Structure 1
Amino acid sequence: MTLRTRKLVGAIVLLVFLSVYALAAMMAAIVLQVSASKVVELIYYPVAGLLWVLPAMWLIKWMQRPDA
């Protein structure tokens, strides 16, 4: 796969992943507001806000890999 193709595929996958992740994080936050304490909520938001970085970082590294 060429670099240009990897960038196109990676951009599409990243947009889909971020959309799904944002919706899932929002649904989890709604459940936490109803059932959890404020301390759990306080911990959840920074963790959920930064957790998407790990898969995105892996995907971007894959996208930038030089051609064979």
Structure 2
Amino acid sequence: MRWRTPIGGIAILIGLTGYAAAAATLGGALPEHALLQAVYYLLAGLLWIPPAVWIMGWARRDDRSG
């Protein structure tokens, strides 16, 4: 049974939604400094990728088991 794939997809959707809300909230608290905000949003926009890749790799192991 392929149970990891839907769990991984749901985990990514829930996690990314929470992450985006937290990043936007924290970003809204930043001082009005263009360079600081640009660096913050660049990093915040990229930091979700490694956990999502890990979850996709975890979910993909389900396909190799059967």
After TM superposition, give the deviation of residue 36 of structure 1 in Å.
5.5
Q: Which runs of 4+ in 1 moved over 3 A?
A: none
Aligned residues: 64
| Greater share of helix | 1
Aligned: 1:58 with 2:54: yes
Q: 1:16 aligns with which of 14, 17, 21?
A: 14
Identity %: 36
Q: CA deviation at 1:15?
A: 0.7
User: Gaps (5+ residues) in structure 1?
Assistant: none
RMSD over aligned Cα, in angstroms? Answer: 1.5
What is the CA distance between 1:45 and its match in structure 2?
Answer: 1.0
Q: How does 1:1-68 map to 2 (within 5 A)?
A: 2=1, 4-32=2-30, 35=31, 37-65=33-61, 66-67=64-65
**C-alpha distance after superposition, 1:20-66 (max 9, x if no partner):** 0010010011001xx35322112111100111001000000001112
Task: Provide TM-score, normalisation by structure 1.
Answer: 0.83
